[in-house]
């Protein structure tokens, strides 16, 4: 009898968790499992703010996919997915095509620029290893160039961060630790450097615990960050940005580096493949399948899963993507054994920890508020835990964060 073919697109948190769970749940004779990813490595998206600021080398945030999968059970294909043809049960890749019986789309998200002029062209993002490496190098270039010019351009040393969500704040935490090192390395006066965070909402980290938000703001201000709250980025240019508060006329802020960290949307393949989506995210059923398609799962940042208590989608997080990967694997294992009783996904939110640099953080873990060293310790526990869930102790020993005290 022909074995069913399970294809997983994306080896991020959701896709890799699906693959390593499936390889435990499904026998070699039960199914063919194929994992497709554009790179031969997985990167820890949740560590990219460190690679972007230059506080952690980009090689530390990635590892070989082949090292964590069971190659007897999972075939790895390095290729880029272009489109899904759900009627013909086929995925178009850049170099080939692949048919499936069951498909898991776990391609993550993309930066949401809301159509704001100039952002795609001139702002840097924190989305993957390439963008993080480029941002780190760009900031270093600005510092290296400053003293080379007779007519000093102080705006070279101005860095604007758009968005004070978790990504923006975590990046600022790393950046404020890195800037004194850069000043020392490139003989630049620290007082010439400006770090500005622009946030459209009336507060930093909208929706998060106000006491912890105040802690984060005062720690970052102490390290030199200027916050422009209730102020939106309206345009990005090669020279900087235009911002406006409410209905005020936009004003220019000149800056050599603009970082856009103000939101994510689903992978563009979702819309290209004709799925009904909201900002590139497909509202999935409780068993994580796409409505109307019994063999098609979407998980992670390209999916939208409703929190029924508040009737709003859960935020796109690694925590949820990994848990979805586990449920998705269980459900596919059930389907190939002709079972119809599938698991209903129920997120088990253990908490949220937001780093403010290597040595500081804020968080709520199991309902308990944490700040400072305790929260920073917890952040490293969370980071190590995600390695453990994918690759067990060997991966933690290889890539883990042990500078915990």
Beta bridge partners, 307, equal: 312
* Beta-carbon count within 10 A of 34 CB: 19
Work out whether 162 is an interface residue with ligand NAD (CB under 6 A): yes
Residue 169 falls in which region: left (phi positive, over 0), alpha (psi -120 to 50) or beta? alpha
Q: Which stretch binds ligand NAD (CB under 6 A): 99-107, 151-159, 162-170, 392-400?
A: 162-170
Work out whether 4 is an interface residue with ligand NAD (CB under 6 A): no
Q: How far is the CB of 79 from ligand NAD (least distance, A)?
A: 27
* Catalytic-residue membership of 170: yes
Work out whether 13 is an interface residue with ligand FAD (CB under 6 A): yes
Q: How far is the CB of 260 from ligand NAD (least distance, A)?
A: 9
Work out whether 236 is an interface residue with ligand NAD (CB under 6 A): no
Residues 58-87 that bind ligand FAD (CB under 6 A): 80-81
Work out whether 201 is an interface residue with ligand NAD (CB under 6 A): yes
Work out whether 362 is an interface residue with ligand FAD (CB under 6 A): no
DSSP symbol at 170: H
For residue 232, the partner it binds in ligand FAD, ligand NAD, none, with Cβ less than 5 to 8 A by kind, is: ligand NAD
Select from 261, 271, 334, 325 the least CA-distant residue to 298. 325
Alpha helix stretches (DSSP H) within 26-128: 48-53, 119-122
Residues 154-193 that bind ligand FAD (CB under 6 A): 167, 170
Instruction: Give the angle subtended at the CA of 227 by the CAs of 219 and 230, to the nearest 5°.
Output: 130
For residue 182, the partner it binds in ligand NAD, ligand FAD, none, with Cβ less than 5 to 8 A by kind, is: none
Q: Which stretch binds ligand NAD (CB under 6 A): 62-70, 100-108, 312-320, 340-348?
A: 312-320
Catalytic annotation, pick one of 170, 185, 249, 309: 170
What tokens does 154 get?
Answer: 């102080």
CA distance 9 to 35: 6
What residues contact residue 351 under an 8 Å CB cut-off, 6+ apart?
A: 363, 364, 365, 366, 367
DSSP letter string, 180-233: HHHHHHHT--GGG-EEEEEESSSSSSTTS-HHHHHHHHHHHHHTTEEEEETEEE
Q: Which one of residues 22, 33, 212, 321 is an interface residue with ligand FAD (CB under 6 A)?
A: 321
H/E stretch holding 368 reads strand 368-371
Which position's Cβ is nearest ligand FAD? 12
Residues interacting with ligand FAD, by CB under 6 A? 10-15, 36-39, 42, 45-46, 48-49, 80-81, 106-108, 126, 167, 170, 267, 269, 300-301, 316-319, 321
Catalytic residues: 170
């Amino acid at each position: 009898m022909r074995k069913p073919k399970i294809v997983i697109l994306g080896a991020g948190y959701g896709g890799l968790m699906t693959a390593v769970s499936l390889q435990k749940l499904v026998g070699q004779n039960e199914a063919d499992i194929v994992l497709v990813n554009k790179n031969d490595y997985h990167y820890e998206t949740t560590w990219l703010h460190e690679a972007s600021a230059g506080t952690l080398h980009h090689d530390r945030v990635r590892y070989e996919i082949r090292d964590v999968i069971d190659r007897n059970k999972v075939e790895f294909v390095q290729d880029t997915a272009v489109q899904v043809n759900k009627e013909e049960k086929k995925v178009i890749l850049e170099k080939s095509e692949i048919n499936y019986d069951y498909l898991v789309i776990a391609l993550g998200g993309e930066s949401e620029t809301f159509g704001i002029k100039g952002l795609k062209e001139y702002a840097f993002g924190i989305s993957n290893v390439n963008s993080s490496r480029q941002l780190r190098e760009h900031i270093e270039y600005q510092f290296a160039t400053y003293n080379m010019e007779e007519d000093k351009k102080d705006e070279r040393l101005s860095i604007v961060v758009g968005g004070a969500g978790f990504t923006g704040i975590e990046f600022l935490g790393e950046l404020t630790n890195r800037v004194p090192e850069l000043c020392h390395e490139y003989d630049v006066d620290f007082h010439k450097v400006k770090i500005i965070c622009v946030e459209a909402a009336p507060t930093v980290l909208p929706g998060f615990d106000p006491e912890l938000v105040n802690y984060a703001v005062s720690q970052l201000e102490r390290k030199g960050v200027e916050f422009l709250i209730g102020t939106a980025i309206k345009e990005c240019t090669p020279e900087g940005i235009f911002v406006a508060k409410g209905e005020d006329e936009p004003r220019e802020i000149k800056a050599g580096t603009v970082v856009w960290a103000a939101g994510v949307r689903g992978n563009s393949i979702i819309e290209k493949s004709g799925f009904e989506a909201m900002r590139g995210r497909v509202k999935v059923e409780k068993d994580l399948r796409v409505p109307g398609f019994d063999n098609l799962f979407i998980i992670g940042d390209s999916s939208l899963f409703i929190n029924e208590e508040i009737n709003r989608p859960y935020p796109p997080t690694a925590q949820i993507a990994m848990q979805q990967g586990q449920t998705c694997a269980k459900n596919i294992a059930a389907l190939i054994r002709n079972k119809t009783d599938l698991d209903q996904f129920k997120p088990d939110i253990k908490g949220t920890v937001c780093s403010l640099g290597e040595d500081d953080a804020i968080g709520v873990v199991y309902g308990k508020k944490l700040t400072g060293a305790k929260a920073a310790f917890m952040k490293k526990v969370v980071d190590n835990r995600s390695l453990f869930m994918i690759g067990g102790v060997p991966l933690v020993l290889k890539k883990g964060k042990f500078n915990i005290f």
